[in-house]
Amino acid sequence: MKPVQILLIEDNEGDILLTTEALKEAKITNELSVIKDGWEAIQYMEGNGKYGNRILPDIILLDVNLPKMNGQEVLLNLKSNNKTKSIPIIVLTTSSSERDIVESYTNRANCFITKPVEATNFLKVISSIEDFWISIVQLPTRAKN
C-alpha cells in the first residue's frame, strides 16, 4: 500500500509539532508536508516554482487562521479548481464560531473540527482523523501532478 500523502496547512508551530507526532505514531504509513501560509499553500497545490515536483496530497488538514491568505480563501480556491476539488479538506482550527463553520461548509469543506486546547485531546483528535479519513473512508485515486 502506498503511503498516504497528507498536506498540513498550519502556521502554529505547537500544532504542527503535535500533528506531526500524532501522525508518526499512526498505524498507516503517511508522508506529511507542511505549509505555513495560505498563499504558499496555493503555490504548492498548483506546483508553482519550488513545488514543481510536489506530489498532490490524498488529504488536506487546513487551519482557518493563516497569514497572507486565510483558510477560507484557500478552501474556496482548492474546491473551485478541477485538479484539486476532489481532495478531501478537513478544516482543523481553534475557531468554533458559527460563521467559520457555515463558511467552511459553504466553501465545500469535507468536515470542520475545532482543535482541543489540551495536548492529549488534540492527539486523540488527530488519531480519530487518521482512523476515519485514512482507515475507513475510500479516498479518490491521487490526481496526477
DSSP code at position 37:
S
Which pLDDT score, from 0 to 100, does residue 142 have? Answer: 63
The low-confidence residues of the chain, meaning pLDDT below 70, are 1, 26-29, 142-145
What's the one-letter identity of residue 65? N
- Distance, in Å, from the CA atom of 95 to the CA atom of 79, rounded to the nearest integer, reads 21
Question: Within 13 Å, how many C-alpha atoms sit on residue 88's CB side?
Answer: 20
Predicted local distance difference test score (pLDDT) of residue 43: 95
Give the pLDDT confidence score for residue 76 in this predicted structure: 96
Place of cell 507542511: 34
Q: What is the pLDDT of residue 26?
A: 64
Helix (H) or strand (E) segment spanning residue 95: none
Grid cell digits, residue 62: 487546513
Residues paired with residue 9 on neighbouring β-strands, in sequence order: 35, 62
CATH number of 4-136: 3.40.50.2300
Closest CA relative to residue 92, chosen from 57, 58, 68, 127? 127
